[in-house]
Amino acid sequence: MIKVFKFGGASIMDVQNIKNVGNILQKYDSQELVIVFSAMGKVTNMLEDVVDSYVQKSANTNVALQKVKDFHATILSGIFKENHPIFDIVNNLFVEIEWVLEDEPNQHYAYDYDQIVSVGEFLSTQIMSAYLQQVGFENTCLDVRDLIRTDNTHRNAKIDWEITTDSIKRNVKKKHSVTQGFLGCTSENFTSTLGREGSDFSAAILAFCLDASELVIWKDVPGMMNSDPKYFPDAKLLSQVSFDEAIELAFYGAKVIHPKTIQPLKQKNIPLLIKSFLSPEAEGSIISSRSDNTNDMSSFIVKENQILISVSDVNLSFIVGNHMNQIFSILAKNNVDVNLMQNSAISFSICVDNDQHKVPQLIKDFQQFYEVLYNDDLSLFTIRHYNDNSFDSFLHDKDVILEQRSRNTVQLISR
């Protein structure tokens, strides 16, 4: 039965890691596989800089693009001989970006973003496919635009499951296929993206449509941890996690998997393994319907760069059903997801990611109808399965401005 593997940016960020991925895959040579790659290293961020300077008509756009070219040139020279056809393929992909940059920015930031940022994934998959071929791992590089159909909500595109299922079933034929994460294609044939870190979701879509026996996400951490090792040095591995708990953890911002990843897997009961590409023999975490949550170990999740927006009626009347209706329509219109909300008699507060391309317009739209107050530069902390101990140790140095508790979860917003 076919399996889907996903390798993120860190796993292919330099020559050494690329070779490591080659070694891992050679061990699975007899296995039918679809392998999804993100852009290499921090290339998506670098391409976001290109887009930003392009839309601001900054003179630095070419400098920003040159960084992306240099990064890939170093990789290419580390793994291929000078006359390898990959050099032309990579050059042509950069020409595609240059074509976009030649035109004036057209006010459709999200559309421009998708056309430029998507090239990171085309670069990584072409390079990885050629490298794997070179080390004897036969594979076909598929253009995910022939596989995943989306609507035209650029930067946050929604899947058309019917067309996608049909296209994937028709086009994934070979024993080993390599394809791009994070991307899709609109009905007008434009490239779309599924939201940052979306290639986990891409891998889950492929696993779902192919009825895969499992999805393996290869990471630079040992598996799903009870906290982000970046903030908590004694983070512990959750070796077994149920689908439902994984959805909750990802929803609250656990960075190890994209929140949309679990639903399709749960629907078809496809186990998700999170394994370390640094120690591929280690077991990692298994997320499945059979998994018992390891125990009720507390999990800590941090989301940074949050903004808390409070709206109240200009006449200080109660916030009631029709206000809610309007508040949610404004959120939907601006494509903003809410991380936490709370209401009092006369105000309604929402905590959202402070995305500079969405939030200023959101605030303007609210201001047409409401008195709006906001507080930025905040962090949202979530503790799942909290207890007095985990709560106190976590809280002692925080300036908490809002707190919300349920039986299993505490959320705090702090400065």
From CA 363, how far away is CA 31, in angstroms rounded? Answer: 51
Distance of CA 1 to the CA centre of its chain: 27
Is residue 41 a contact point for ligand ASP (CB under 6 A)? no
Tokens of 140: 């076909």
184 near ligand ASP, rule: CB under 6 A:
no
How many angstroms separate the CA atoms of 302 and 293, rounded?
21
State which of positions 83-122 bind ligand ASP (CB under 6 A).
120
Cβ 404 to ligand ASP shortest distance, Å: 28
Q: How many CA atoms lie within 13 A of 170 on its CB side?
A: 10
Q: Does residue 39 touch ligand ASP according to CB under 6 A?
A: yes
The whole-angstrom separation of Cα 18 and Cα 131 is 8
Judged by CB under 5 A, which of 5, 9, 148, 172 binds Mg ion?
Answer: 9
When CB distances are held under 5 to 8 angstroms depending on the partner's kind, the choice from ligand ASP, Mg ion, none that residue 22 binds is: none
Q: Among the residues of 189-311, which ranges form H helices?
A: 199-209, 243-251, 262-268
198 binds, among ligand ASP, Mg ion, none (CB under 5 to 8 A by kind): ligand ASP
CB of 196 to Mg ion, least distance (A): 8
Chosen residue from 11, 17, 38, 306 binding Mg ion by CB under 5 A: 38
Q: Sign of torsion, CA 370 373 379 383? A: negative
> Which one of 71-79, 196-204, 221-229, 231-239 is the stretch in contact with ligand ASP (CB under 6 A)?
196-204
Are 34 and 5 in contact by the 8 Å Cβ rule? The answer is yes
Specify the stretch interacting with ligand ASP by CB under 6 A; choose among 37-45, 73-81, 240-248, 384-392. 37-45
In the complex with ligand ASP, the residue whose CB is nearer, 198 or 284, is 198
| Rounded CA separation 231/398 (Å) | 14
Cβ distance to ligand ASP smaller for residue 115 or 390: 115
113 within 8 A of 183, measured Cβ to Cβ: no
* Separation between Cα atoms, residue 131 and residue 78, nearest integer Å: 11
Binds ligand ASP by CB under 6 A, chosen from 3, 9, 25, 125: 9
- Asked if residue 38 binds ligand ASP (CB under 6 A), the reply is yes
Kindly tell me which of 179 and 312 has the beta carbon lying closer to Mg ion: 179
**In 80-185, which ranges are continuous DSSP H helix?**
86-102, 109-117, 119-134, 161-171
* Candidate ranges 193-201, 218-226, 274-282, 398-406; the one touching ligand ASP (CB under 6 A): 193-201
Q: Is residue 129 near ligand ASP by the rule CB under 6 A?
A: no
Contact assessment for residue 127 and residue 75, using Cβ atoms and an 8 Å cutoff: yes
8 binds Mg ion (CB under 5 A): yes
Q: Is the distance from CB of 398 to CB of 381 less than 8 angstroms?
A: yes
Site residues (CB under 6 A) for ligand ASP? 8-9, 38-39, 44, 120, 181-182, 196-199
The binding site for Mg ion (CB under 5 A) comprises: 8-9, 38
